[in-house]
Structure 1
Amino acid sequence: MADTEKWYFDPTTGSVEQGKVGSWDERMGPYDTREEAARALEVAEARNAAADAEDQADEDWGKPASWEKP
């Protein structure tokens, strides 16, 4: 599928556009469907939450070493 057939979301205007209409720093995508592009912010929020949870889990090393103060 060519980029002109893909869908993009413009977070500045909130519009969904087919093809690379706006500049690269003002579009999210590409998405296969208009509906997917319309949910771009929801998808990004969910991905950010998952990444934050993963980062938090990576930072949890469990019980501190015996020489560290609790």
Structure 2
Amino acid sequence: MGEYWYNTRTGEVEEGKISNSIDRAGPFATREEAARAPEIIAERSRKWAAEEAADDTK
């Protein structure tokens, strides 16, 4: 099974490293997961921001 990438420029899911690395997010295990890349990235960003804010209060 291959790796799936989300092309941030076109919004398309790609199997394998097709586009330039600057335009790719991933890799993801499934096509469905790659299609959710913007949502996953936003969730991770919120989590990291909350962790950093918690660290700042220590």
TM-score normalized by structure 2?
0.92
Unaligned runs of 5+ in 1: 62-70
Unaligned runs of 5+ in 2: none
Structure with the larger RCO, 1 or 2 (CA within 8 Å, 6+ apart): 2
Q: How many residues align?
A: 58
1:10 maps to 2:7: yes
Alpha-carbon deviation of 1:55?
0.7
C-alpha RMSD over aligned residues:
1.0
Q: What stretches of structure 1 move > 4 A for 4+ residues in a row?
A: none
What percent identity do the matched residue pairs reach? 41
Counterpart for residue 39 of structure 2: 42
Tell me the SS of whatever aligns to 1:21.
coil
